[in-house]
Amino acid sequence: DAKTTQPTSMDCAEGRAANLPCNHSTISGNEYVYWYRQIHSQGPQYIIHGLKNNETNEMASLIITEDRKSSTLILPHATLRDTAVYYCIVRGVMNTGFQKLVFGTGTRLLVSP
């Protein structure tokens, strides 16, 4: 019952920006967009989340379109250690009931030298 669509895989050159798209055309007004990543043999790691404004932290930037039907996760200067599976997840707010974190298939990002 994943509410998002992501490309299966993407490539990026080391040092360049990695732009990972996500479609969530059925997102509702009180649902947030979350991004996690999973490096090989590790547990998933939280990256960033947002509602409608663009967000930035030390790991990445999140750009959400005005209609909120899609978003892009940006890793500004990808390194080899950013090679991972990136998951885009839509999740509601608590006052509608606890929202489980449901993972789809994600995008496998390969950063090459």
Contact positions toward another protein, by CB under 8 A?
32, 34, 41-46, 49, 91-95, 98-105
Residues β-bridged to residue 94: none
Query: What's the closest the beta carbon of residue 15 comes to another protein, in angstroms?
Result: 28
Is the Cβ of residue 30 or residue 112 nearer to another protein in the bound state?
Answer: 30
At a CB cut-off of 8 Å and minimum separation 6, what does 94 contact? none
Is the Cβ of residue 41 or residue 112 nearer to another protein in the bound state?
Answer: 41
Is the Cβ of residue 43 or residue 113 nearer to another protein in the bound state?
Answer: 43
